[in-house]
Structure formats: structure tokens, C-alpha cells
Amino acid sequence: MNRQLLAFVLALIVAVSLAACGDEPAGDGAATPAAPSSEAATPTDAPTAPASPAGPAEEAAALYSANCAGCHGPSGGGGSAPAIAGEDDPDSIREQIREGGDGMPGFSGSLSAAQIDALSQFVADKLR
């Protein structure tokens, strides 16, 4: 009889323990939305897109730095490619950027027409 009593008490303890573990509130089981927080949102560590340049001149300078300065130098004075400082005809510069030639790759596949226009104007106006 002791074994039966012991088994009953253990089963009762397990049943009560399992019933106590369920933290669901009594009710219809529908979740209730949390009250809105009055705290301000905090920034996350998620990466953000870099700020765009302030205008066309800055965009053209960024394009030059990214696509041209490696070969023509930061100020167009030359490097592994010829100097382009002093070139002042935007049409011929535009054609060279678009089509390439003389060892230079063409950029019509990687830059838009507007970017090529801005870049050719930058070279003609700023790299003197």
C-alpha cells in the first residue's frame, strides 16, 4: 500500500507542478496587444545607406574618385594613364569615357549617360 500511496502523491505533485507552469492567463485565449510605449525609439545598429552627395558637382567628383583617379591621378595629373588635367572639350572627354580606347576601358556599361555627362563636365571644368 505504501507504493500505491507514494505513486499517487508523486503523480499529484507532477500534475500540480505542470499546471503551475502554464503562464497563460485565464480567458478566451486571444492575445491582447501591448500598450504603446511612451519611450522614444532608440537607433539600431543596422547599417544605413551613405548620404548622397550634396549636388551634381559633388557627385561628379565622387565618380571621378571612384572611376578615374586610380589611373589618371587624384587631380588628373596622370599616373598609370595619361594626364587629363587641361582637357577642356567635354564632348571629346564624354566620347572617351563612353567608348574607352588607348588602353582605357569604356564606361557606357557601368555609368549612366547622365553620370558620363557630369563626369566629362567635371574633367573639363575642374581639372585645369
pLDDT in tens, 18-44: 666 655 555 555 555 555 545 544 444
Domain ranges of the chain: 56-126
pLDDT at 3: 78
44's enclosing H/E stretch is: none
Mean pLDDT of the chain: 78
Percent of residues, the chain, with pLDDT higher than 90: 48
Q: How confident is the model at residue 4 (pLDDT cuts 50, 70, 90)?
A: confident
Please determine, for residue 6, whether its predicted confidence score (pLDDT) is greater than 90. no
The whole-angstrom separation of Cα 102 and Cα 22 is: 77
Res 81: pLDDT: 92
Please, what CATH class does the domain formed by 56-126 belong to?
Answer: mainly alpha
